[in-house]
């Protein structure tokens, strides 16, 4: 019996529905319903967890050559470009998934495998806000701080400083997961249960280390007290800074204080992977573009900041050909073409070219990655069923080699297969759904009656 009073009625549990994809050996529709990567999502179709790195092996090798420090390459490029060639074919070429994957594999072991164990490395994925809300450099600076915090870069530095402190004994350090210190070193309650006084002993110890490293006292206190957890430091510090404060002091925080924090934690480089740079450049007027690239040079190349002195930040900017055209005159006027050529033949030495995929070579392994993730019977893994090979190749070909639209198309095709009881999906069915016409509005029927005869001869003839 349900209660009709809307103030008291509560939602009832939904009855368990039959899985319509079970007859294909799938737990659910394996293809994403979102056009973009959402890193914090729990859905593996949306958070970038399903990824085929081998399909972008060439781009990955160029990424490492340009930006990853190694014993034979101790000072990689300070600025590099990722050129997205899917502008005219829609979004979904996979650059966001690529950047997110590079960030995750760096943060998994702080660059140990990538650098051959020679360097401690962090990475942050930056996605600018639209509507011109990141067109000023101080807004970009704020975005850097937010991304470093949200990506646990700042937390990792504080965890390391806590681990270095004499307040934590060896037997306690042995209980910490070195791959994920958050539940231990990032949990004050856990530390207190181990007998560690965080408020009066551990935090002041970390604060003293930061002050000796040159971090301003107010910032050192905030980082030591709250920087161990990204949500806490965001709430207690970042969100409390006004726009005025970011204009006046944001660059000191990002390019001096945080660099000193990381170096105190023996982390000597951080990669800033900037996605969707068009959200910065397109809303800018001519003067703002010139000022922005001038500030890029000042804070990353030759200004009086710790980030410059220590070559701390590596910057990867994701651009499109039309952004290249808008930036070229200002980029050259700022002298940045000698650091990272944005146009001309020399640009090849600084650019990761992100082109559409070849349908014949990449469609099958990409689709298998999604199907296998949601396969129930182990013996069906590695099979395209219910698709045949021509169907998935045709889907990628129709999508112009851009994987995002292809995955959306296959999602729609699989939904139709479930609804209409298809056993196998062929290329002609994929093509039919891709080319389906939108039903047009039916013509209205009018009951037209003849007009009555005129009562007056307007021509004067009767």
Domain residue spans of the chain: 22-37+358-434, 51-142+270-355, 152-267
What are the start-end ranges of the H helices in 19-169? 57-67, 95-109, 137-150, 153-164
Alpha carbon 55 to chain centroid, angstroms: 18
What region does 453 belong to: left with phi over 0, alpha with psi -120 to 50, or beta?
A: beta
What does pTM read for this prediction? Answer: 0.89
> What are the DSSP calls for 252-310, one per residue?
HIIIIIHHHHHHHTT--EEEEEE--THHHHTT--HHHHHHHHHHHHIIIIISSSHHHHT
- The pLDDT, as a whole number, for residue 8 is 80
What are the start-end ranges of the H helices in 179-216? 188-193, 203-212
- The pLDDT, as a whole number, for residue 13 is 80
Q: What is the DSSP letter of 381?
A: T
Bridge partners (DSSP) of residue 84 are 354
- The pLDDT, as a whole number, for residue 459 is 61
Q: What is the C-alpha end-to-end distance of the chain, expressed in Å? A: 81
Closest by Cα among 84, 81, 103 to 94: 84
Bridge partners (DSSP) of residue 280 are none
Helix (H), strand (E) at residue 423: none
Closest by Cα among 36, 6, 117 to 407: 36
- The pLDDT, as a whole number, for residue 456 is 66
Q: 410 near 32, Cβ under 8 Å?
A: no
- The pLDDT, as a whole number, for residue 71 is 86
Q: Is 450 exposed, middle or buried (0-12, 13-18, 19+ CB in 10 A)?
A: exposed
**Chunked mean pLDDT (size 10), the chain, 462 residues:** 75 80 92 80 86 94 94 87 76 88 95 92 95 95 98 97 94 93 95 94 96 97 97 96 96 98 96 96 96 97 96 95 92 94 92 92 94 90 93 94 92 94 94 80 62 66 52
Please state whether the peptide bond connecting residue 85 to the residue before it is cis, i.e. omega within 30 degrees of 0.
no
Whole-angstrom distance, CA of residue 270 vs CA of residue 149: 13
The number of CA neighbours under 13 Å toward the Cβ of 19 is 13
- The pLDDT, as a whole number, for residue 145 is 98
What region does 337 belong to: left with phi over 0, alpha with psi -120 to 50, or beta?
A: alpha
Residues with Cβ < 8 Å from 197, sequence gap 6 or more?
Answer: 167
Q: 60 near 74, Cβ under 8 Å?
A: no
């Amino acid at each position: 019996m349900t209660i009709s009073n809307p103030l008291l009625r509560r939602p009832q549990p939904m009855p368990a529905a039959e899985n319509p994809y079970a007859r294909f050996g799938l737990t659910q529709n394996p293809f994403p319903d979102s056009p973009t990567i959402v890193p914090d999502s729990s859905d593996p179709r949306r958070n970038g967890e399903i990824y085929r790195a081998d399909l972008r092996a060439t781009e990955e090798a160029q990424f490492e050559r340009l930006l990853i420090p190694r014993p034979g390459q101790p000072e990689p490029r300070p600025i590099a470009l990722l050129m997205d060639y899917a502008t005219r074919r829609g979004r979904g070429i996979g650059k966001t998934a690529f950047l997110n994957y590079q960030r995750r594999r760096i943060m998994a072991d702080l660059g140990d495998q990538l650098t051959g164990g020679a360097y401690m490395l962090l990475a942050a994925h930056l996605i600018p806000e639209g509507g011109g809300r990141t067109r000023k450099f101080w807004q970009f600076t704020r975005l850097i701080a937010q991304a470093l915090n949200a990506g646990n870069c700042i937390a990792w530095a504080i965890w390391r400083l806590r681990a270095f402190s004499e307040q934590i004994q060896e037997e306690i350090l042995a209980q910490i997961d070195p791959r994920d210190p958050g539940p231990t070193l990032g949990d004050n309650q856990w530390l207190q249960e181990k007998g560690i006084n965080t408020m009066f002993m551990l935090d002041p110890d970390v604060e003293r280390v930061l002050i000796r490293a040159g971090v301003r006292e107010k910032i050192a206190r905030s980082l030591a007290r709250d920087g161990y957890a990204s949500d806490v430091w965001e709430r207690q510090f970042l969100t409390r800074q006004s726009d005025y404060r970011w204009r006046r002091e944001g660059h000191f925080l990002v390019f001096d204080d945080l660099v000193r924090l990381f170096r105190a934690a023996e982390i000597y480089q951080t990669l800033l992977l900037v996605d969707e740079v068009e959200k910065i450049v397109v809303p800018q007027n001519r003067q703002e573009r010139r000022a922005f690239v001038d500030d890029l040079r000042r804070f990353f190349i030759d200004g009086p900041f710790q980030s410059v002195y220590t070559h701390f930040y590596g910057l990867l900017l994701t651009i499109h050909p039309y952004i290249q055209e808008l930036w070229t005159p200002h980029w050259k006027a700022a002298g940045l073409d000698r650091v990272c050529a944005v146009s001309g033949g020399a640009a090849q030495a600084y650019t990761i070219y992100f082109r559409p995929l070849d349908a014949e070579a990449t469609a099958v392994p990409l689709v298998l990655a999604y199907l296998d993730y949601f396969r129930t019977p182990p013996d069906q893994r590695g099979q395209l069923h219910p698709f045949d090979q021509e169907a998935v190749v045709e889907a990628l070909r129709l999508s112009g080699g851009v994987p995002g639209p292809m995955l959306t198309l296959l999602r729609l095709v699989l939904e139709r297969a479930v609804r209409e009881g298809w056993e196998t999906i062929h290329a002609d069915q994929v093509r039919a759904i891709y080319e389906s016409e939108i039903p047009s509005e039916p013509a209205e029927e009018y009951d037209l009656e003849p007009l009555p005869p005129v009562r007056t001869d307007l021509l004067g003839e009767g």
